Chains A and B, each alone.
Chain A
Amino acid sequence: MVGIVIVSHGAMANGMLDAARMIVGEQEGMLAVSLEEMEDVEGLIEKIAAAVEKVDTGDGVLVLVDVFGASPFNASARLTLTRDKMDVITGMNLPMLLELAIHRQGSSLDELVKIALEAGPSSIKTLSETLKSK
C-alpha cells in the first residue's frame, strides 16, 4: 500500500490527520509532519525523510503539502528528486485526503495521484451555485 505523508506549516497536517481519523477511521501508513517557526528546510527534510521511511512498504509514498513553493513543498520536493516512487501534491484539502484514504488499498502511486488531482478541486463549491444547479 502506498504510504502517505502530510506536511504543513504549523498544526494543519496533524489536524488533517485527526479530522481524517474521525471520518474514515484509523489509518495505517499515514503520518503528519509540521514545520515549526524556528526550523530550517534541512531539518524539515530530515523529518520528512524519517516519516517517508516509516510509511514506505515498497509501493511508494505520496506527500501532500499545503502551499506550492512554500517550505513544506520545497523540502518535500528536494527529497522527492533524490528518491524513486515518490510524488508531491500541493494545495491539499481534507476531501482529497479522504478520497486517498478510501482508495489506497490496491491502488498504485500513479493512480492515487490521479485520484487526488481530481478530488481536490472538485470538492470546492459554493452553496449558492450548488442550490442553483438542483
Chain B
Amino acid sequence: MPVFHVRMDNRLIHGQILVSWNSAFKIDHIIVTNDKVANDPLQVTLLKAVAPLNAKVSVLTIKDCVDYCNSPEAEKENIFILAKYPEDGLALLEAGLKIPVLNLGNQAFVRGSQKISNTVFLTESGVKALKKIHEMGIRITCRMMPNDPDTEYWPTIEKTLPQWAKSD
C-alpha cells in the first residue's frame, strides 16, 4: 500500500516527524497536504528545505495529493501524508483516498477550540469532520509518537465533547 500513514497535525513537518516517525518507518515520500499551505510559496519553500535525507517532500492541495496517491507512480513508494486539520483528513477521504486509519497528531489550541488532552484541542468543525470520518468506518487514532497505543480515539472525543459529537 503506497500510503501507509495519514497524520493530521497542525505543526506539519516538525521534530516528532523528523526524529521519531522517520526513524521508526521507512518513509520515501512525505506529502504535506492543505490547500492554504500548498498555495503559500513561503511555506512550500520552507517545508521542502527541511526534507530529511531519505525522503522527498511534496506540498500539494488535497485534490493533487489524492490524484498522486492513486497514480501508478505512488505504487512504488512508502508515503506518509501530513494533513493539517481533521477537515483536511475528511477532504482526503471524500476526494477518494483509500486508507483504513487516520491518525490525529498535534492539534494546538485555536480560538473556539476545546481541550481533549495537552496536545489535542478540537474545534466544533473539527469534531464534526472526525464524526463523519468515524461514520465512514475509518478508525481514528491519536498517536503523537510511533509507540503510542493504536486504540480507537472516537469514543474519547465523543465523551469529552458530547455537545459537538452528538447527532444533529
Contacts and interface: CB of A to CB of B under 8 A. Distances in A.
A78 B43 contact: yes
Interface string A21-62: 000000000000000011111010000000000000000000
Interface in B104-130: 106, 108-110, 115, 118-119, 121
Interface residues on B, range: 20 to 34
A113 interface: no
A74 interface: yes
A40 B109 contact: yes
B42 A38 contact: no
Nearest to A41: B11
A43 B108 contact: yes
A41 B119 contact: no
Interface of B: 10-15, 18-19, 42-43, 45-46, 49-50, 52, 106, 108-110, 115, 118-119, 121
A38 B109 contact: yes
B43 to A, nearest CB: 7
Nearest to A68: B50
A contacts with B: majority SS: loop
Contacts of A81: 42, 45-46
B142 to A, nearest CB: 14
B13 A40 contact: no
A15 B122 CA distance: 32
Given A38-B121, A40-B106, A69-B14, 10 more contacts: A38-B109, A39-B109, A40-B11, A40-B109, A67-B15, A67-B19, A71-B14, A71-B15, A74-B46, A81-B42
Interface in A63-109: 67-71, 73-74, 77-78, 81-82
Given A38-B119, A40-B108, A40-B110, A74 B10 contact: no
Nearest to A81: B42
Contacts of B42: 78, 81-82
Nearest to B118: A37
Given A38-B108, A38-B119, A40-B109, A69 B18 contact: yes
A81 to B, nearest CB: 6
A70 to B, nearest CB: 3
A74 B48 CA distance: 11
B50 A74 contact: yes
A69, A73, A81: most-surrounded residue (chain B CB, <10 A): A69
A41 B46 CA distance: 13
A73 B50 contact: yes
